[in-house]
């Protein structure tokens, strides 16, 4: 009888997981149907993801190949977004740049969540000297204008992709730390936490199994918003010459290169990478609301 129960347990666990996944998908479909803006944001996210993953393999031209004979050509059937001052195809460069900008956003958000989120949870749950250290660190960072601080970090460490990711994570640390600290501080004396203590769970296990899952909905929303800001921050650093080095395709660099040609009527050089940057930030800002509706258990009525 015990052997049958042992064999049935994985099946029951798998069945429960499938039911939970199905319910989440049904709730997501309902959310996007009730909120078309979130559906549009999700569709834009899928397009950005496709461009980031397979974009370099499907573009019609090499993003680095120059053709001076075709320089400054307006949008046409041959070059959908026109060409720049070196004859490089703008459509290929805009699509290929998606991978780099998305990578900067993903890695910077993952890093700041690992630093700020974990530090904030520890500060809110344990308090004491941990709370003091995290709070003073966040206050020190916020004492500087954040973009100026990012400029200083990149200028000191060097304008590489890794340093841009580090700088973006550092300037967002106070936001994640304060949100996580507030949420953990509210929940550390909740009934379900007290019940977990009474059943013999360690403090670390309570943090991982009780506190962290309950604050993830608001953290997911913040991560979505921060991804848009990370892309904008990377583009801003590139625009002023402290970001990714040319000729690497990156939206901020392309906007900076095309800004000088707008007065001469060659508007497409700056317009299309700027439009891609705007759509990406717009997508992540609106996607946060949809994600909150999907992952927040209180909204599943």
What's the confidence (pLDDT) of residue 5? 45
pLDDT at 80: 92
CA–CA gap between residue 278 and residue 59 (Å, rounded): 21
Across the range 52-56, mean pLDDT stands at: 90
What residues contact residue 192 under an 8 Å CB cut-off, 6+ apart?
210
Task: Please name every residue paired with 89 in a beta bridge, in sequence order, or none if there are none.
Answer: 83
pLDDT tens digits, 121-168: 999 988 889 999 999 999 999 999 989 999 999 999 888 889 999 999
In degrees and rounded to multiples of 5, residue 66 shows phi and psi of -105, 150
Pick the CATH number of 31-60+85-299 from 1.10.3720.10, 3.40.50.720, 3.40.50.1980, 3.40.50.150: 1.10.3720.10
Q: Supply the pLDDT for residue 151.
A: 92
Report the distance separating Cα 82 and Cα 76, nearest Å: 6
pLDDT, mean over the chain:
84
pLDDT in the model for residue 66: 86
pLDDT band (50, 70, 90) for residue 207: confident
> pTM value?
0.82
Who's near 33: CB < 8 A, 6+ residues apart?
Answer: 39
pLDDT at 295: 62
Residues 5-53: pLDDT tens digits?
A: 444 444 444 555 566 556 556 656 666 666 677 778 888 889 999 999 9
Using the predicted structure, report yes or no on whether residue 245 has a pLDDT greater than 90: no
C-alpha closest to that of 48 among 231, 288, 172: 231
């Amino acid at each position: 009888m015990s052997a049958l129960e042992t064999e049935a347990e994985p099946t029951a666990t798998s069945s429960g997981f499938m039911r939970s996944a199905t319910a989440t998908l049904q709730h997501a479909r309902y959310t996007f149907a009730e909120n078309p803006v979130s559906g549009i944001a999700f569709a834009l996210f899928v397009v950005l993801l496709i461009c980031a993953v397979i974009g370099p393999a499907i573009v019609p031209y090499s993003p680095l190949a120059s053709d001076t004979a075709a320089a400054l050509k307006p949008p046409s059937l041959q070059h959908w977004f026109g060409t720049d001052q070196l004859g490089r195809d703008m459509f290929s460069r805009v699509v290929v740049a998606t991978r780099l900008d998305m990578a900067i956003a993903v890695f910077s958000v993952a890093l700041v969540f690992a630093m700020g989120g974990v530090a904030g949870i520890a500060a809110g749950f344990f308090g004491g000297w941990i709370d003091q250290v995290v709070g003073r660190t966040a206050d020190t960072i916020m004492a500087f204008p954040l973009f100026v601080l990012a400029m200083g970090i990149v200028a000191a460490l060097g304008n590489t992709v890794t340093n841009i990711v580090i700088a973006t994570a550092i300037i967002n640390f106070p936001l994640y730390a304060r949100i996580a600290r507030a949420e953990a501080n509210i929940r550390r004396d909740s009934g379900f936490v007290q019940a977990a203590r009474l059943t013999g769970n360690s403090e670390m296990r309570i943090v991982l199994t009780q506190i962290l899952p309950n604050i993830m909905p608001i953290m997911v929303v913040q991560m979505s918003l921060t991804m848009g800001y990370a892309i904008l921050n990377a583009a801003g650093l590139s625009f002023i010459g402290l970001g990714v080095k040319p000729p690497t395709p990156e939206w901020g660099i392309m906007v900076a290169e095309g800004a000088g040609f707008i007065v001469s009527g060659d508007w497409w050089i700056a317009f299309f990478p700027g439009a891609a940057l705007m759509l990406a930030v717009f997508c992540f800002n609106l996607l946060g609301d949809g994600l909150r509706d999907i992952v927040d258990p209180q909204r599943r009525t």
